[in-house]
């Protein structure tokens, strides 16, 4: 890479410029800005925050929330406590305990799901890696609390938000997710129905014929 | 490369003219209005003349490199936002490029275009904010800074719309970008790019001919080319001294070869040239943005086989660099085949550009130190990591 | 004594000329009514007059601190303080409460007595200087014969207070600020005083009210006979204006504070109300020095156009004060700060020679005057080149140092 012969001189002041002309030009610029700030919107961009708010774009992300279907946050929670988000979280701010029944069998839902939002850095990786469409980034941003430690440690009840909320927050993304889930649920239902039907026919059929042993799911 | 003692990097030859007990030892920083964060300079003054200057840093050390060696490759991406927090998207790109080189991932064309657009917008942000900051360092009461921030806000709004965050974007992924452009986003960028030229005209009218600015910056802080090259200085600081070194041209990456743009070069490398070079670079960035927006193709924004979880690059090592707004930003990665990098190393332009500050400041006034530090354009997040 | 006696002389119709003197007269009348002795009446009157000036300018200080923030905010495309009261009008009150309730910190190494005395001593001379300025036809708080001399001798005290603050803080940034302040103020005090010599020569008096009276009337029926509209007065006025910015430590000569370099200069180690006192002193000093400039060069309380004499004279004075102070704000919003060596070079190589040249120019102006006081072509022909040629030479010299015309930028294409 060599400097080319194309030498371009800047609009620099001429050799014998009037002294102080640069200063006066600067004063003209500031005066223009002052006067135009009264009538030009792109000059005065201040938003008077608590009274008026800048619109939030659909992509805006703040701290995560957990999505649930239906009305009941406990029953409809999509989270299966798989702990993928817990391991992938860069600042390690998620804490999950799997709920088990009396026999120690996994119930595939979290007993404890805590996010320490004072540690969380809103990167959104948890939402990206979640395979169950469960965790999403919230758009809520007024979260200041008097209590620095407990107030900013969000538990499951604080984190769980309905799918309708997600739909309202990000219609496009939530619509896609809902459509996909519907397809999956339909498929699952169809599979289940087929299984049931199969079982029925199996029961109906005579025993000795060892045919297919259930569907490969 | 050079052995001339006059241009050697050691400054010990410049001994103070008076006894040491008559000198004033001042600690500029870490809490000081114009050290751009928590940077400290132990300055020894003879009257107001700088006799010695010892930079002290590490107040913002966050152990970034070691943390990165303990987490997955993807989990380091949001941390790169926090290196140079004025221009997170360039940092994203540099890291993504390093990992792509390590794992041999192809990037779709559309993603490359999006990356170029974002990187050049970031360059606009950085250089605009720089013009405001250096005027603040010179003692102007924030007018230039506020104009710069007004325009920066407009770009940040676009970033928020695209990436979800104004500054901590976390947008690039290995093999592309996280999401596609929202509807109407590129039209908004075109509008912004069209309006940016008049803003730059206004800023230049405000600053370029200002006699006080000229008297404060002309012939302040210049060093010979050889010293700058030996010191590893890159970016606008080096080009202001007339060294034609821009990685976009020297070692082209991405799709920069397809665009028509030029590299502005200064002559003396003083603070005035550093300001002017940045203004000229912004004009060239606008040119690149125009071309990129015109040619933006359709297609996928991420490689279809790009992995998010359980990403394991093969055994090997890679160094990838980009021309960040502040200089050469490089990431060196060594993979042992696991999900975590064996070694993760950054070449931060701010830090390496800062190393010559004593040589630039000796013999000048205390007020010049502040201007020179401003003209180096450091961000302490990147210096201390 | 009746109220009517006091409104004598003025051509005012609706807003009485004597309004600013009303508190003083009322106190005097009240005491006379109760049969107080003469010395008590006079003393009480003086105290009331002084209190009026202090009250007016402290109110002005509060208002200016708000106006400055609002104006600078508008220049920077912001709104400025607008939460405390309507239009942020209560912001100075909020600031005052905040300053008063803040902890007063005295560094361990500080000389506590001087550290305490400095903020008080910085406010005092400004208030004293404000006392001698003629604000209106009827309103000169203390009509001294040697008003100008008094102004400068009192004003010189500020340097001492600034240095006291810097030295007594026992810290390095204040010390640097104090060293800068003392060199800057001494250097600029010189041209500041020398420019006033021409005015004194023309007027033949050191009393500020005489200086204003001398500028009565209009050239050609519409150009006021202010000193600024004469060749020597224009030159002196420019020097005075620049030097007054430096004296008031305003941008671009705010080196003693220099917040980007030496934190806050001599005020670094001050907090709470002492810090507020520094601000008060600075703003009162600003009022005083611009008031003096108006008196010397801008015709004091005189109306700018004929036929406007019915407006009370003190309104004209304050209108001019607002204009001058707004120009200071405008400059502050635009300019970066100069460096200490440039500042000194400017003082000694530009300000001082030009200030000195106004003295012979003013002398020539006096001697070429016609017997009736008007000026013929001869005065213009001699004084204009005498001042203009050195101005051109000096500006060329200063411009050459900073000309970027030699800078060219190349582009590497490939």
Q: Based on the domain organization, do A99 and A131 belong to the same domain?
A: yes
Sheet holding A64-68, edge to edge: A135-137, A64-68, A160-162
Chain B (290-329) residues lying within 8 Å, Cβ to Cβ, of chain A: 308-309
Q: What is the pLDDT of residue A6?
A: 46
Q: Which domain does A101 fall in, by range?
A: 64-163
Question: Over 70: is that where the pLDDT of B13 sits?
Answer: no
Cβ pair B304, B290 in contact under 8 A = no
Q: Give the HSE-up count for residue A52: Cα atoms under 13 Å, Cβ half-sphere.
A: 5
Percentage of residues of chain C with pLDDT beyond 70: 92
What are the distances in angstroms from CA C279 to CA C61, C183, C241, C283, C371?
A: 9, 21, 21, 6, 49
> Which of the two residues, C408 and B264, has the higher pLDDT score?
B264
Rounded CA separation C97/C102 (Å): 9
pLDDT digits (tens, 9 = 90+) for C143-201: 788 888 898 888 888 888 888 888 888 888 888 888 888 888 888 888 988 998 888 88
Contact C408 A7 (CB under 8 A): yes
A6 contacts on B by Cβ (under 8 Å): 262
Closest CA to C289 of C196, C198, C155: C155
Q: Which two tokens stand for residue C44?
A: 């009480």
C176 contacts on B by Cβ (under 8 Å): 24, 26, 45, 48, 366
Rounded CA separation C346/C340 (Å): 10
Residue A106 in domain: yes
Residue among C335, C405, C408 whose CB faces A13 most closely? C405
In sequence order, what are the residues at sequence separation of 6 or more whose Cβ sits closer than 8 angstroms to the Cβ of residue A45? Answer: B150, B153, B154, C77
Q: What angle, 0 to 180 degrees and rounded to 10, lies between the N-to-C axes of helices C172-203 and C231-247?
A: 160
> Which of the two residues, A42 and C128, has the higher pLDDT score?
C128
Contact B211 C402 (CB under 8 A): yes
Q: What is the pLDDT of residue B122?
A: 92
Q: What is the pLDDT of residue B124?
A: 92
Q: What is the DSSP letter of C349?
A: I
Q: Which two tokens stand for residue B268?
A: 């003396």
Would you call B2 helix, strand, or coil by DSSP? coil
A83 contacts on B by Cβ (under 8 Å): none
Q: Based on the domain organization, do A149 and A96 belong to the same domain?
A: yes
Percentage of residues of chain A with pLDDT beyond 90: 0
Residue corresponding to tokens 């989990």: B75
Closest CA to C100 of C263, C280, C249, C257: C280
Question: Over 60: is that where the pLDDT of A175 sits?
Answer: yes
pLDDT digits (tens, 9 = 90+) for B72-107: 888 888 999 888 888 899 999 999 999 998 888 888
Contact B139 C337 (CB under 8 A): yes
Q: Which two tokens stand for residue A170?
A: 């990000």
Q: Based on the domain organization, do A147 and A198 belong to the same domain?
A: no
Residue A9 in domain: no
Q: Buried b / exposed e across C187-215, counting CB within 10 Å, b at 16+?
A: bbbbbbbbbbbbbbebbebbbbbbbbebb
Residue among C77, C333, C399 whose CB faces B141 most closely? C333
**The complex's ipTM?**
0.81
Residue among A20, A22, A125 whose CB faces B74 most closely? A125
Helix (H) or strand (E) holding A100: strand A94-100
Q: What is the pLDDT of residue B125?
A: 92
Contact C336 B139 (CB under 8 A): yes
Percentage of residues of chain B with pLDDT beyond 90: 14
B268 at A interface, C-beta within 8 A: no
Residue corresponding to tokens 């135009």: A36
Q: Buried b / exposed e across B127-138, counting CB within 10 Å, b at 16+?
A: bbbbbbbbbbbb
Residue A143 in domain: yes
pLDDT digits (tens, 9 = 90+) for B318-374: 999 999 899 899 999 999 888 889 999 999 998 998 888 888 888 888 888 888 988
Residue A41 in domain: no
Neighbours of C89 (CB within 10 A): 14
Question: Over 60: is that where the pLDDT of A122 sits?
Answer: yes
Q: Based on the domain organization, do A113 and A148 belong to the same domain?
A: yes
Residue A152 in domain: yes
Interval A183-193 mean pLDDT: 84
Show which subunits contact C, needing at least 3 CB pairs below 8 angstroms: A, B
B140 contacts on C by Cβ (under 8 Å): 251, 334-337
A34 contacts on C by Cβ (under 8 Å): 71, 74-75, 333
Rounded CA separation B226/B8 (Å): 9
Rounded CA separation C234/B49 (Å): 37
In sequence order, what are the residues at sequence separation of 6 or more whose Cβ sits closer than 8 angstroms to the Cβ of residue B102? Answer: B313, B314, B316, B317, B318, B333, B335
B244 contacts on C by Cβ (under 8 Å): 412
Q: How confident is the model at residue A16 (pLDDT cuts 50, 70, 90)?
A: low
Question: Over 60: is that where the pLDDT of A13 sits?
Answer: no
Interval C300-309 mean pLDDT: 77
Neighbours of A162 (CB within 10 A): 17
Interval C116-134 mean pLDDT: 87
pLDDT digits (tens, 9 = 90+) for B121-134: 999 999 999 988 88
Q: What is the pLDDT of residue C406?
A: 61
A2 contacts on B by Cβ (under 8 Å): 244
Q: Based on the domain organization, do A154 and A179 belong to the same domain?
A: no
Question: Over 50: is that where the pLDDT of C352 sits?
Answer: yes
Q: Based on the domain organization, do A88 and A132 belong to the same domain?
A: yes
pLDDT digits (tens, 9 = 90+) for C257-284: 877 778 888 888 888 888 888 888 888 9
Question: Over 70: is that where the pLDDT of B147 sits?
Answer: yes
Q: What is the pLDDT of residue C9?
A: 43
Q: How confident is the model at residue C342 (pLDDT cuts 50, 70, 90)?
A: confident
Q: Based on the domain organization, do A125 and A155 belong to the same domain?
A: yes
Rounded CA separation C134/C132 (Å): 6
Rounded CA separation C290/C23 (Å): 25
Distance to chain A for C406, nearest Cα, Å: 8
Residue A85 in domain: yes
Distance to chain B for C371, nearest Cα, Å: 45
Q: Based on the domain organization, do A199 and A142 belong to the same domain?
A: no
What is the count of structural domains for chain A?
A: 2
Mean pLDDT taken over chain B: 85
Give the CATH number for residue A68: 3.30.70.3270
Beta strand spans in chain B (E): 24-28, 40-46, 49-56, 172-173, 176-177, 263-265, 316-324, 327-335, 341-347
Cβ pair A26, C330 in contact under 8 A = no
Mean pLDDT taken over chain C: 82
Q: What is the pLDDT of residue B164?
A: 86
Would you call C110 helix, strand, or coil by DSSP? coil
Contact A26 B206 (CB under 8 A): yes
Residue corresponding to tokens 């490029």: B97
Q: Based on the domain organization, do A186 and A158 belong to the same domain?
A: no
> Which of the two residues, A179 and C372, has the higher pLDDT score?
A179
pLDDT digits (tens, 9 = 90+) for B209-253: 788 888 888 888 888 888 888 888 998 989 888 888 888 888 888
Residue among C76, C411, C414 whose CB faces A8 most closely? C411
Q: What is the pLDDT of residue A19?
A: 67
Distance to chain A for C336, nearest Cα, Å: 10
Rounded CA separation B144/C72 (Å): 12
- In degrees to the nearest 10, what's the CA dihedral of C63, C69, C75, C81? -110
Sequence spans of domains, chain C: 1-101, 104-395
User: Which value, in Å, is the radius of gyration of the alpha carbons in chain C?
Assistant: 23
Backbone phi and psi for residue B173, each to the nearest 5 degrees, phi listed first = -125, 160
A44 contacts on C by Cβ (under 8 Å): 77-79
Residue A4 in domain: no
Contact C407 B33 (CB under 8 A): no
Q: How confident is the model at residue C110 (pLDDT cuts 50, 70, 90)?
A: confident
What's the whole-model pTM score? 0.85
């Amino acid at each position: 890479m060599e400097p080319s012969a194309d030498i371009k001189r800047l609009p620099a002041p001429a050799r014998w410029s009037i002294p102080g002309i640069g200063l006066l030009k600067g004063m003209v610029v500031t005066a223009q800005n002052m006067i135009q700030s009264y009538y030009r919107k792109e000059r005065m961009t201040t938003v008077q925050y608590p009274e008026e708010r800048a619109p939030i774009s659909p992509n805006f992300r703040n701290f995560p929330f957990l999505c649930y279907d239906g009305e009941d946050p406990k029953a409809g929670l999509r989270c299966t406590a798989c702990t993928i988000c817990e391991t992938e979280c860069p600042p390690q701010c998620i804490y999950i305990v799997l709920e088990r029944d009396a026999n120690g069998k996994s119930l595939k839902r979290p007993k404890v799901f805590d996010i320490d939002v004072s540690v969380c850095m809103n990167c959104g990786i948890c939402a990206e890696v979640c395979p169950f469409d469960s965790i999403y980034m919230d758009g809520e941003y007024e979260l200041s609390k008097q209590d620095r430690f407990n107030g900013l440690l969000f538990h499951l009840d604080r984190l769980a938000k309905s799918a309708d909320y997600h739909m309202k927050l990000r219609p496009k993304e939530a619509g896609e997710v809902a459509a996909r889930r519907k397809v999956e649920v339909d498929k699952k239902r169809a599979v289940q129905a087929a299984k049931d039907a199969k079982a029925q026919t199996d029961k109906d059929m005579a025993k000795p014929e060892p045919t297919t042993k259930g569907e490969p799911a | 490369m050079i052995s001339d003692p006059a241009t050697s990097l050691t400054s010990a030859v410049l001994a103070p003219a008076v006894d040491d007990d008559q000198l004033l030892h001042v600690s500029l920083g870490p809490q000081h209005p114009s050290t751009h964060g928590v940077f400290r300079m132990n300055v020894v003054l003879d009257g107001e003349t700088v006799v010695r200057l010892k930079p002290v840093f590490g107040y913002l050390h966050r152990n970034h490199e070691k943390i990165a060696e303990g987490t997955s490759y993807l989990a380091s991406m949001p941390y790169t936002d926090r290196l140079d927090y004025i221009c997170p998207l360039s940092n994203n790109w540099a890291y993504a490029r390093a990992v792509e080189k390590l794992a041999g991932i192809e990037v779709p064309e559309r993603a490359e275009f999006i990356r170029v657009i974002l990187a050049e917008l970031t360059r606009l942000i950085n250089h605009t904010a720089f013009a405001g900051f250096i005027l603040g360092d010179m003692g102007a009461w924030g007018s230039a800074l506020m104009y710069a921030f007004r325009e920066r806000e407009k770009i940040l709004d676009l970033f928020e719309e695209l990436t979800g965050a104004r500054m901590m974007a976390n947008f690039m992924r290995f093999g592309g970008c996280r999401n596609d452009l929202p509807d109407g986003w590129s039209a908004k960028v075109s509008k912004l790019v069209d309006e940016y030229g008049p803003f730059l005209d206004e800023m230049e009218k405000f600053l370029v001919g200002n006699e006080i600015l000229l008297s404060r910056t002309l012939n302040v802080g210049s060093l010979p080319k050889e010293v700058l090259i030996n010191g590893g200085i890159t970016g606008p600081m080096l080009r202001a001294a007339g060294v034609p070194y821009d990685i976009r041209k020297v070692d082209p990456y991405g799709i920069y070869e397809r665009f028509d743009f030029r590299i502005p070069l200064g002559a003396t490398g003083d603070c005035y040239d550093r300001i002017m070079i940045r203004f000229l670079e912004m004009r060239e960035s606008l040119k690149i943005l125009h071309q990129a927006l015109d040619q933006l193709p359709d297609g996928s924004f991420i490689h279809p086989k790009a992995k998010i979880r359980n990403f394991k690059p093969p055994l090997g090592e890679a160094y990838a660099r980009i021309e960040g707004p502040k200089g050469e930003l490089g990431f060196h990665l060594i993979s042992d085949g696991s999900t975590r990098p064996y070694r993760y190393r950054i070449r931060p332009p701010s830090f390496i550009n800062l190393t010559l500050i004593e040589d630039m400041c000796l013999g000048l006034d205390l007020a010049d130190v502040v201007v020179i530090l401003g003209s180096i354009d450091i961000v302490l997040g990147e210096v201390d990591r | 004594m009746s109220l009517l006696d006091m409104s004598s002389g003025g051509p005012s119709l609706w807003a009485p000329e004597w309004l600013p003197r009303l508190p003083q007269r009322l106190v005097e009348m009240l005491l006379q009514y109760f049969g107080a002795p003469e010395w008590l009446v006079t003393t009480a009157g003086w105290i009331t007059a002084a209190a009026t000036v202090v009250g007016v300018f402290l109110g002005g200080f509060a208002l200016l601190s708000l106006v400055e923030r609002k104006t600078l905010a508008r220049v920077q495309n912001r709104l400025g303080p607008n939460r405390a009261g309507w239009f942020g009008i209560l912001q100075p009150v909020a600031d005052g409460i905040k300053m008063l309730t803040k902890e007063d910190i005295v560094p361990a190494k500080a000389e506590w007595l001087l550290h305490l005395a400095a903020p008080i001593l910085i406010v005092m001379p400004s208030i004293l200087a404000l006392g001698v300025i003629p604000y209106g036809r009827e309103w000169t708080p203390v009509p001294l014969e040697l008003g100008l001399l008094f102004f400068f001798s009192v004003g010189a005290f500020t340097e001492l207070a600034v240095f006291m603050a810097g030295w007594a803080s026992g810290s390095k940034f204040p010390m640097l600020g104090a060293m800068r302040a003392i060199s800057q103020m001494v250097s600029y005090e010189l041209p500041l005083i020398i420019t006033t010599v021409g005015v004194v020569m023309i007027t033949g008096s050191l009393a500020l009210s005489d200086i204003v009276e001398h500028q009565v009337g209009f050239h050609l029926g519409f150009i006021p006979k202010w000193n600024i509209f004469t060749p020597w007065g224009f030159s002196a006025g420019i020097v005075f204006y620049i030097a007054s910015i430096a004296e008031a430590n305003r941008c671009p000569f705010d080196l003693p504070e220099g917040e980007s370099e030496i934190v806050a200069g001599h005020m670094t180690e001050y907090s709470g109300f002492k810090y507020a006192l520094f601000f008060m002193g600075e703003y009162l000093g600003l009022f005083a020095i611009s008031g003096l400039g108006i008196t010397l060069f801008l015709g004091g309380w005189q109306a700018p156009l004929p036929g406007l004499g019915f407006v009370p004279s003190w309104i004209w004075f304050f209108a001019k004060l607002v204009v001058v102070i707004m120009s200071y704000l405008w400059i502050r919003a635009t300019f970066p700060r100069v460096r200490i060596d440039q500042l000194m070079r400017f003082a000694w190589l530009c300000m001082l020679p030009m200030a000195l040249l106004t003295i012979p120019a003013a002398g020539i102006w006096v001697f070429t005057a016609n017997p009736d006081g008007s000026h013929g072509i001869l005065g213009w022909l001699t004084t204009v080149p005498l001042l203009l040629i050195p101005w051109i030479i000096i500006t060329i010299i200063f411009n050459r140092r900073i000309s970027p015309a030699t800078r060219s930028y190349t582009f590497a294409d490939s």
